[in-house]
Amino acid sequence: MAEPRGARYGDRAVGLVALVVIAVLFAHTFTFRVVDWDPLGLAFWPRLVLALIAVCALVFVVRGSVAPQEVEPVSARAFRVLAGCVLYVLALPLAGFVLATPVFVALFAYALGRHQRHRVALALALALVTTLAVYLLFQVGLAVQLPRGELLG
């Protein structure tokens, strides 16, 4: 039985696109300022995470080149999640972390869960607790400045 052409190349295409995005982001880390107080530098952790994601993307490229696969339709839900992530990143400079994050977390917790009435309350609770925990950890505990947003001045 002949394998559909797109089945074999789907993972490879995703991996190659991811590698291009990773390369652009990795190159951007060289614009980070150099500080005296951090021996590893501000770009160390972003570069490490990008390198790990690049390894995963390479696995996709190799697996897509070697192993035959069945074609699965891409879910519209995946595009909604991607669009939501892009909107969150775009909203951060305007709304700031404290306003944008609970909305983002609540919507995604609800969207990715089963649609039941108690899920709304659970999504809102998760959003508030998560936002507060991240804020306390980074802003208060580690003194890392989170995006304040123009709405909060």
Question: Residue 74: its pLDDT value, please?
Answer: 64
The length of the chain is 153
Q: How far apart are CA 107 and CA 101, in angstroms?
A: 10
Question: Residue 52: its pLDDT value, please?
Answer: 93
Question: Residue 55: its pLDDT value, please?
Answer: 93
| DSSP per residue, 29-75 | GGGSPP-SS-SS-TTHHHHHHHHHHHHHHHHHHHHHHHS-----PPP
Q: What is the pTM of this model?
A: 0.56
CA distances from 120 to 23, 59, 105, 127 (A): 39, 37, 12, 11
Question: Residue 121: its pLDDT value, please?
Answer: 80
Question: Residue 129: its pLDDT value, please?
Answer: 92
Q: In terms of C-beta density within 10 A (0-12 exposed, 13-18 middle, 19 or more buried), how is residue 111 classed?
A: middle
Hey, where are the domains in the chain?
Answer: 1-72, 74-153
Question: Residue 3: its pLDDT value, please?
Answer: 45
Question: Residue 7: its pLDDT value, please?
Answer: 47
Which of 14, 13, 2, 23 is closest to 82 using CA atoms?
A: 14
Q: Quick one: three-class SS letters along 87-120?
A: HHHHHHHHHHHHHHHHHHHHHHHHHHCCCCHHHH
- Per-residue pLDDT of the chain (153 residues), as tens digits, is 444 555 456 677 778 888 998 999 899 888 888 877 777 777 888 889 999 999 988 988 887 666 565 656 666 777 777 788 888 888 888 888 888 999 988 888 777 776 666 777 888 888 899 989 988 888 888 887 888 878 776
Question: Residue 115: its pLDDT value, please?
Answer: 63
Q: How far apart are CA 20 and CA 84, in angstroms?
A: 22
